Amino acid sequence: MKVFVSGVAGFLGSHLADAYTRSSDQVVGCDNMIGGDLQNLPEGIEFHEADCVDVNAMKEMLAGVAIVYHCAAIATEGLSVFSPTIIAKHVYENTAGILAAAASRGVKRFVYCSSMARYGSQKAPFHEDQAPMPDDPYGIAKFAGELLVANVCATHGMEYVIAVPHNIIGPRQKYDDPYRNVASIMINRMLQGKQPIIYGDGEQVRCFSFVQDCVDPLLKMGTQPGLSGEVINIGPDEGAVTINQLAKIIAKLLSFDLHPIYVASRPQEVRDARCSADKARRLLGYRTKVSLEDGLRSMINWIREHGPKPFEYHLPIEIDSPLVPPTWRDRLL
């Protein structure tokens, strides 16, 4: 079977490609390298450096492909409040490009990686039957992508599944990005002897999902019959922690003397972002296999192996506003 993975040099995409290469499937993938790393690429895949908005290039790559996994996105939710243009291009427009190519090539099933940002600040834990109410441009773009997937696939006879992963952690996650990946940012700073920076009071509630616990249900979403049209949360609904607790766990694993630096809250940040896993358990047999501490330990080992890095401010801030966090405006990380 021939499988295509967008964002294949990134975090989730590379792990997904790994899983398919181990099963002897033919894997093709692309990445525009905004957030990808060539070192993440598994051996044996056919890789193209390309952007999903390039429809003609995507059509060439998707020849003979049965399943498309669309993982590519600039997943900087907080930054999207200040940079909506780049988010629209690399979340919504790139979905349109790869969808057009997939429909042209007669792809059997399209798996779209959305985000729990689709739910906004509704009452948690979020269930798939809740009407999406995104709070920020990233969530809006992700949900708009869902609507486009459903429309194009229904029109052109393609099966589709909407995956809603949340707060994925693990090796290969970009840890020098100041705009996303709170656990990676904290580990990178603490390994440099720097205190973690926490927005607001640190009592925001999250559940973190180890990457392999997301890959396993994604594999089923690509191949299991009877899932077309389903929206399914992927990630744990047990073991919720606050950002303060997360910092304490990482500090304990690193034997780090913790004294966090608190700064003002970020606009539009959801206070309690937890998703129910009931549907994933029912349809996919989902269960959490890797604990939060074990997942963080594997991240620490991976970042140590590759070495702490200075943070790279690689994306533009489009809206010059007093609401821009000083950590980004003044490059304080």
Query: What does the DSSP assignment read for 64-89?
Result: T-SEEEE------HHHHTT-HHHHII
Of all residues in the chain, what percent are helix, strand and coil, respectively (each to 5)?
40, 15, 45
- Non-local (6+) Cβ contacts of 18 within 8 A are 42, 215
CA end-to-end distance (rounded Å), the chain: 44
Looking at residue 190, what is its pLDDT? 98
Q: What is the mean pLDDT of each run of 10 residues along the chain (333 residues)?
A: 97 97 93 95 96 98 98 96 97 98 98 98 96 97 98 98 96 96 98 97 97 97 98 95 98 98 95 96 97 98 97 96 94 89
Could you tell me which of 3, 78, 8, 70 has the C-alpha nearest to residue 39?
8
The predicted pLDDT at position 24 comes to: 82
Burial pattern 23-50, b for ≥16 Cβ within 10 A else e, equals eebbbbbbbbebbbeeebbbeebebbeb
Structure confidence at residue 333 (pLDDT) = 87
For the chain, which domains are there?
2-168+210-234 (3.40.50.720), 170-206+237-274+289-315+324-329 (3.90.25.10)
Q: Looking at residue 23, what is its pLDDT?
A: 87
Predicted confidence (pLDDT) per residue in 237-292, tens digit:
999 999 999 999 999 999 999 999 999 999 999 999 999 999 999 999 999 999 99
pTM: 0.96
pLDDT for res 325: 95
